[in-house]
Amino acid sequence: MRVGLIAHDTKKAALVAFVARHRDRFARHELWATGHTGQKVAAETGLAVHALMPGPMGGDQQMGSRIAQGEIDVLFFFRDPLFAHPHEPDVSALLRVCDVRDIPVATNPATAEWVVRAL
């Protein structure tokens, strides 16, 4: 499967820890991530990660494009709902295209624990 990984700055450590905890499952799949998230996941886990641009610099849109083209099968997007993000329209568009393309999305660790079992 092709797995998308995104995390807001305040959630990057949680996503990296999550991927590290489930490293064996993620190692069997093709990983795609926005810039800084991908760099951190690769550095901490040793997994190969295709890195897009950073989210605010167009990476969210790149991930959305991959989803729209059928090139991502599942998305783990650890969001920070308590912080205003200047690229919120990009985030909304990304989540919308996931709904349109019927892509499973985990936006928090509790949901991610359920979704990772399907990998």
Q: What is the pLDDT of residues 44-94, one digit of tens each?
A: 999 999 999 998 888 999 999 999 999 999 999 999 887 766 667 778 899
Q: What is the pLDDT of residues 15-43, one digit of tens each?
A: 999 999 999 999 999 999 999 999 999 99
Q: Are 10 and 83 in contact (CB under 8 A)?
A: yes
- Amino acid occupying residue 19: V
Compute CA distances 31 → 5, 17, 57, 79, 119, whole Å.
7, 15, 20, 18, 12
* Residues identified as active-site: 60
- Domain 2-116 matching CATH 1.10.10.10: the answer reads no
**What pTM does this model have?**
0.94
Q: Where are the domains of the chain?
A: 2-116
Edge-first strand order for the sheet with 74-78 is: 49-51, 30-33, 2-7, 74-78, 105-106
